[in-house]
Structure 1
Amino acid sequence: MPVAFVYHDDCLKHSNGPGHPERPERVAAIRDHLARRGLLDRLLVVRPEPCPIDLIARVHEPRYIEAIRRACERAPVQLDPDTAVSPGSWDAALLSAGGAVAACDAVVSGEPGAAFVCTRPPGHHAERDRAMGFCLFNNIAIAARRLQERHGLGRVLIVDWDVHHGNGTQHLFEDDPTVFYFSVHQYPFYPGTGSARETGRGRGAGFTLNCPMPAGAGDGEYARVFRQVLAPEIDRVQPEAILISAGFDAHRADPLAGMSLTEDGYAGMTSILRASADKHCGGRIISLLEGGYDLTALGASVEAHLRALGAFEE
């Protein structure tokens, strides 16, 4: 089965301002790395359409969506200390969310076995009514609702291995037993959420699982968490699709954090998830780019991730 690579050049038009780590070169570095390695032509390249507003409104307040649109019209505008918009941010944000939708539609159709969404801005910090942590719209939450509402999937698993806890994603689903949210992240660290005590609430109690990790954790520690903690939970939940918030900022070369993962670590986590996906949901994995700010490490880590998804198997 081929793996889809969802990409659009207009995602480079979003800017957080000079010197900001979440910069257009991130997705360009991934694209160029794969092209130099002769791998881009071996992927099913998908060019997404802008996400319809009504789909974004499944997870965000309409007044918040409109506030982002107006801010982009007046850009540059600083939304919080870490997050800004430029004149091209509205188009980029719609395409980033649209990439999540396109990946879901493609994978459920059965043509690609899995998909990687190489778009920006990222999404997992975005709250229902608030931009945060470089994120405007919560792309992976939009993807989860697309799988459920358009394609009729009942149980969705979100695995978030970005070095930062995905506060926005957790809060959007913490009372929902149909979406299981798992996060492994450096802790204590930005944004300050993600303690092991946070396990969901109401009907969603027991459907949030946080694995906070100390600074310096590397491939072995992450592999143990995935094998000993996450894999049994996947067997319990029996998801019908697996979504990955694929941040690559826990890499040992990343300038914004203090973890010690390597490309092999990302490949190992991906392989464990692929085995679980094959067991429970027909191999359906949709992976969305979140963080990752060392461009060399980012390109190499995405390649390792794609290889473990089966992208370049003969």
Structure 2
Amino acid sequence: MSTAFYTDPACLNHATPEGHPEQVARLVSILAALEHRDFAGLDRRQAPLAEVAELLRCHPQDYIDRIRAAEPDAGNHQLDADTWMSPGSWDAALAGVGAVTAALDAVMAGEARNAFAAIRPPGHHAETATPMGFCLFGTVAIAAKRALDHHRLSRVAVLDFDVHHGNGTQDLLWNEPRALFVSSHQFPLWPGTGRAEETGPHGTILNVPLAPGTRGPDFRDAWERQVFPRVDAFKPELILISAGFDAHIDDPLAQLALTEDDFIWITHRLCDLADAHAGGRVVSALEGGYNLDALAASTAAHIRVLMERGA
């Protein structure tokens, strides 16, 4: 088998104001890095635009309508302090959801052992009816719901190593006992959520706050001690990854100090868990990462491991 890679040119049409960290160049830098011969065997696929029915797995119709109506005919429209739309943002958001759900379907069908979705805007800050933190729809949470309700899995784990707490995913899966959500993140840091005591009504939320300046050894220790035993006990039938690379030491928006080697390590360890419980099934989606060189190198390292483990 191989690693399926999904993206769509529509994700390049979501434009933010000049100087905004979540910029078109993020995806451009990743795609350029994947032109290296190391990625010749990557199974590259066109992402479909998601149907609105997929968005409804997590978001109410009135919120979906509000986001669609907010797309401007020209220029930019500001939804909150950080989140913007431009002409093309609606299709970009649908392509993001479509990429992750198509990746899920391919892995569930046995067409690929694992998959990665290179998408923007990201998704893990979008709450049930609130766009936040560059995000419009909860892409990975939607995929988790599809895995549970369409593919009829009993247990899905969503594992998020972005430097910011995945408050949107937590909100969308808060009442879902079939989904284990884990987030490691710098704390304190925007959005201010993600305290260890936030465990959810079913005990299926695990937050791992990390102090500013945390380096690779302490990051790895936190996952080994706190996360992996919980995932082992949960025995997920699928692992979904919110792959944010803004915990990199060179990222301008936070103060963790990881390197590409740490992202290689965690990708291998998450694949180990998938091998143990989920037949190797892993679907990963791009979240943050705002230093273009660090983002491209870290994403490439992550995908390289997925390809190695998916072979």
TM-score, normalized by length of structure 2? 0.97
CA distance in 2, matches of 1:26, 1:147: 28
Q: Structure 1 279/313 Cα, relative in aligned 2: closer, same or farther at 3 Å? A: closer
Match of 1:289 among 286, 289, 295: 286
TM-score, normalized by length of structure 1? 0.96
Deviation at 1:306, TM superposition (A): 1.5
Contact 1:266/1:304, CA 8 A, preserved across alignment? yes
Alpha-carbon displacement from aligned partner over 1:182-208 (angstroms, at most 9, x marks no partner) = 00000010000000010112xx2x110
One-letter identity of the residue aligned with 2:298: S
Q: Where do 1:31-70 residues align within 5 Å? A: 31-35=31-35, 37-70=36-69
CA distance in 2, matches of 1:220, 1:310: 25
Is 1:224 the counterpart of 2:221 in the alignment? yes
Match of 2:262 among 252, 261, 265: 265
SS in 1 for 2:307: coil
CA distance in 2, matches of 1:39, 1:16: 31
Q: Match for residue 90 of structure 1?
A: 90
Deviation at 1:74, TM superposition (A): 4.8
One-letter identity of the residue aligned with 2:56: A
- Any gaps of 5 or more consecutive residues in structure 1? none
Contact 1:246/1:290, CA 8 A, preserved across alignment? yes
Deviation at 1:313, TM superposition (A): 7.7
Deviation at 1:3, TM superposition (A): 0.7
CA distance in 1, matches of 2:52, 2:81: 26
Q: Match for residue 70 of structure 2?
A: 71
CA distance in 2, matches of 1:25, 1:157: 30
Report % sequence identity. 46
Contact 1:42/1:311, CA 8 A, preserved across alignment? no
Contact 1:27/1:119, CA 8 A, preserved across alignment? yes
Contact 2:3/2:307, CA 8 A, preserved across alignment? yes
Contact 1:226/1:272, CA 8 A, preserved across alignment? no
- Any gaps of 5 or more consecutive residues in structure 2? none
Q: Match for residue 210 of structure 1?
A: 207
Contact 1:196/1:210, CA 8 A, preserved across alignment? yes
Aligned positions, number: 310
Contact 1:6/1:118, CA 8 A, preserved across alignment? yes
Q: Match for residue 27 of structure 2?
A: 27
Q: Match for residue 271 of structure 2?
A: 274
SS in 2 for 1:210: strand
Deviation at 1:302, TM superposition (A): 1.0
CA distance in 2, matches of 1:73, 1:83: 13
Q: Match for residue 115 of structure 1?
A: 115
Q: Match for residue 152 of structure 1?
A: 152
Q: CA RMSD in A?
A: 1.3
